Structure 1
Amino acid sequence: MSQLDDRLAELGLTVPDSSKPLAAYVPAMVTGNLVYTSGQLPLVEGKLPATGKVGAEVDAEAAHQYAKTCVLNGLAAARGAIGSLDRITRVVKVVGFVASDPSFTGQPGVINGASELLGEIFGELGAHARSAVGVAVLPLDAPVEIEFVFEFA
């Protein structure tokens, strides 16, 4: 077991196997010492736990939790590209998309689910730059999609 796996176990979490792409792309791409993930949906065993717009069919607290699932899926994609999560030396960037009802303006709070979990997992190395964007619709009518950039050695 790796150090990061031990930390995840302490938090009661496990990183799933990387999901197969839903279209013509790869789950993660390495360039230099960075790994960029494709957008990660909150899939659990290949299925979305909910669909719809945050602020309408999906409440903000549930979406906050789904953002945490996106983190685990992002780590799975990164692991598939670099072999071991212990190689990650920093979380560089998080870009979060929230399928939003037109009146919903709490996108930062939803994506905080991902940011907070990355801090719990990586400590200071989990601090990152971030964007949280509201959009009209996401693939499969997912409420949240998140991209990650990790530095690794």
Structure 2
Amino acid sequence: MSWAGRLSELGITLPPVAAPVAAYVPAVRTGSLVYTSGQLPFVGGELPATGKVGAEVSPEEAKRHARTCVLNALAAVDAAVGVDSIVRVVKLVGFVASAEGFTGQPAVINGASELLGEIFGDAGAHARSAVGVAELPLGAPVEVELIVEVR
């Protein structure tokens, strides 16, 4: 089965590629790798939440936003090379705008990691960083970058 078929089987439709909010492109291919720019949890061009995780945004809500971020990253990959050209997910980097004392970044970014596992199975197992930061663009609670190997 193709990855597009797997997405369909899961009832997932990739969103339109989020428009860049500064001077960059959503994804770049070099050799057999595609790197995405940081993807915010845009839905229909809007951020569904702003604020810091552990204060204005709950960890559970942030985990759902991390899932949205990775769907936006996959949309960028799809626009660049086609989702069916993905061989495996190499690395995921997640940033969490964290309230003082919040240390649950790994659990938040699991929203993205778990979805990659659902879609890609063993090919979705990846290296990962989950980093707490003071602020993210536009006040977003989470941001995700993705690196995938492609044919």
- Structure 1: gaps spanning 5 or more residues: none
**2:45 corresponds to which residue?**
46
Q: AA paired with 2:97?
A: A
Q: Indicate the percent of aligned positions where both proteins have the same amino acid.
A: 67
Q: In the alignment, which of 96, 101, 104 is matched to residue 102 of structure 2?
A: 104
Structure 1 CA distance for aligned equivalents of residues 11 and 105 of structure 2 = 26
Q: AA paired with 2:40?
A: L
CA displacement 1:1-58 (0-9 Å, x = unmatched): x822221122221101111111000101110000000000000000011000000000
Q: TM-score, normalised by structure 1?
A: 0.96
What is the RMSD of the two structures over their aligned residues, measured on CA atoms?
Answer: 1.0
Give the Å deviation of 1:97. Answer: 0.1
SS at match of 2:66: helix
SS at match of 1:95: strand
**2:149 corresponds to which residue?**
151
Report whether the alignment pairs 1:137 with 2:142.
Answer: no
Q: TM-score, normalised by structure 2?
A: 0.97
**1:85 corresponds to which residue?**
83
| Mapping 1:21-40, distance limit 5 Å | 21-40=20-39
Structure 1 CA distance for aligned equivalents of residues 64 and 2 of structure 2 = 24
Q: AA paired with 1:131?
A: S
